């Protein structure tokens, strides 16, 4: 089993990185990447003491923009000390702090005072994101649950959805490849694009030097995997897989994806 898309408490996951990798090893995952949003702090805290039977590779899920659309690109197997990657993460760090201030401002206009302090307290030093605002909104009694927070305030097109600050897709892919890693287009079906737009995105990703498409993210619906397989193979891109695990939920994916039925020569793991 492989898992090349997971989150720890260094971003918006529930488990500390050390607990996450211990659990992955215990559940039989052999190759693993921690891909926190725009930070490698979780990876840095564990990579020197990872379990012997777990092959831990460097990872990150980078926020970027393609036109006006927010896109996630997973970077795998890059040099953790690469100056370009470090500089890019500094930019993203600042962008997230700036965005958090703007989100808070919007939420305050909606009558929720103290949003920035609240979300920062929830994040407790983690890379700040909308899920931290959602959790604060629940604890402050503004919404009943995190789903409602996204549906009413944080999700696409809502007041707290501010997505104009990320670096471009092309630059993001280039940073990963120049840092010695492989860029993976994450969860292509989450962007709610038409098939034509999605093909254009895959073309742009390919042109920028992208290496693989994530064909399994969490629990795919019937047919999705096949659709993404075609998107990858038509461009000679490899495929990647991951649970996108954040925390235990009743219907969420557990850690690890079996790759026994993926033909040889297609998996991005064969190149890492």
C-alpha–C-alpha distance, residues 213 and 74, integer Å: 9
**Whose Cβ is closer to ligand AMP: residue 123's or residue 262's?**
123
C-alpha–C-alpha distance, residues 247 and 31, integer Å: 19
C-alpha–C-alpha distance, residues 243 and 216, integer Å: 8
Q: From the list ligand AMP, Mn ion, none, which binds 106 (C-beta under 5 to 8 Å, kind-based)?
A: none
Q: In terms of DSSP bridges, do strands 238-242 and 31-33 run parallel, antiparallel, or are they unpaired?
A: unpaired
What's the min distance (Å) between Cβ of 182 and ligand AMP? 21
When CB distances to ligand AMP are compared, the closest residue is 129
Q: Is 12 in the site for ligand AMP (CB under 6 A)?
A: yes
Q: x/- binding map, residues 108-147, to ligand AMP, per CB under 6 A?
A: ---------------------xxx--------------xx
**Whose Cβ is closer to ligand AMP: residue 49's or residue 248's?**
248
- Cβ-contact 234, 5 below 8 angstroms: no
**Whose Cβ is closer to ligand AMP: residue 142's or residue 238's?**
142
What's the min distance (Å) between Cβ of 242 and Mn ion? 8
What's the min distance (Å) between Cβ of 94 and ligand AMP? 14
Q: Is 130 in the site for Mn ion (CB under 5 A)?
A: no
**Whose Cβ is closer to ligand AMP: residue 188's or residue 267's?**
188
Q: Mapping DSSP to helix (H, G, I), strand (E, B) and coil, where does residue 60 land? A: strand
Return the residue of 37, 88, 142, 238 that touches ligand AMP, per CB under 6 A: 37
Other CB atoms closer than 10 Å to residue 260's CB: what's the count?
5
Q: Is 159 in the site for ligand AMP (CB under 6 A)?
A: no
Q: Is 12 in the site for Mn ion (CB under 5 A)?
A: yes
What's the min distance (Å) between Cβ of 154 and ligand AMP? 7
Of 116, 124, 118, nearest to 100 by C-alpha is 116
- CB within 8 Å of 252: residues ≥ 6 apart: 218, 219, 245, 246
**Whose Cβ is closer to ligand AMP: residue 106's or residue 130's?**
130
Q: Is 55 in the site for ligand AMP (CB under 6 A)?
A: no
Of 144, 104, 142, nearest to 123 by C-alpha is 104
Q: Which long-range contacts (CB under 8 A, 24 or more apart) does 107-112 make?
A: 107/133, 107/137, 107/153, 107/159, 107/160, 109/159, 110/153, 110/159, 112/137, 112/140, 112/142
Q: From the list Mn ion, ligand AMP, none, which binds 258 (C-beta under 5 to 8 Å, kind-based)?
A: none
Other CB atoms closer than 10 Å to residue 127's CB: what's the count?
22
Strand order of the sheet with strand 2-3? Answer: 2-3, 31-33, 55-57
**Whose Cβ is closer to ligand AMP: residue 145's or residue 271's?**
145
Q: Mapping DSSP to helix (H, G, I), strand (E, B) and coil, where does residue 201 land? A: helix
What's the min distance (Å) between Cβ of 230 and ligand AMP? 26
For ligand AMP, the binding residues (CB under 6 A) are: 12, 37, 129-131, 146-147, 150, 155, 246
For Mn ion, the binding residues (CB under 5 A) are: 12, 61, 72, 244
């Amino acid at each position: 089993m492989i898992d090349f898309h997971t989150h720890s408490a260094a971003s918006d996951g529930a488990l500390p990185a050390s607990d996450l990798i211990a659990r992955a090893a215990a559940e039989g995952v052999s190759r693993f990447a921690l891909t926190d949003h725009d930070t490698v702090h979780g990876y840095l805290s564990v990579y020197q003491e990872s379990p012997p039977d777990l092959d831990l590779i460097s990872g990150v899920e980078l926020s970027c923009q393609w036109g006006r659309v927010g896109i996630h690109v997973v970077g795998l197997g890059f040099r953790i000390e690469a100056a370009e990657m470090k500089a890019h993460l500094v930019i993203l760090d600042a962008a997230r702090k700036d965005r958090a201030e703007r989100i808070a401002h919007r939420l305050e206009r909606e009558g929720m005072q103290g949003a920035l302090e609240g979300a920062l307290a929830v994040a407790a030093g983690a890379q700040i994101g909308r899920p931290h605002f959602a959790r604060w909104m629940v604890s402050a009694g503004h919404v009943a649950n995190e789903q409602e927070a996204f549906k009413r305030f944080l999700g696409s097109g809502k007041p707290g959805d501010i997505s104009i600050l990320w670096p471009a897709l092309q630059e993001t892919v280039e940073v990963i490849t120049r840092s010695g890693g492989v860029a993976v287009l994450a969860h292509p079906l989450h962007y709610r694009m038409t098939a034509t737009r999605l093909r254009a995105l895959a073309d742009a990703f390919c042109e920028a030097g992208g290496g693989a498409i994530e064909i399994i993210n969490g629990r795919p619906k019937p047919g999705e995997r096949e659709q993404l397989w075609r998107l990858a193979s038509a461009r000679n891109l490899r495929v990647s897989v991951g649970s996108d695990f954040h925390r235990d939920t009743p219907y969420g994916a557990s850690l690890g994806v079996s790759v026994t039925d993926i033909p040889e020569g297609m998996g991005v793991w064969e190149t890492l």
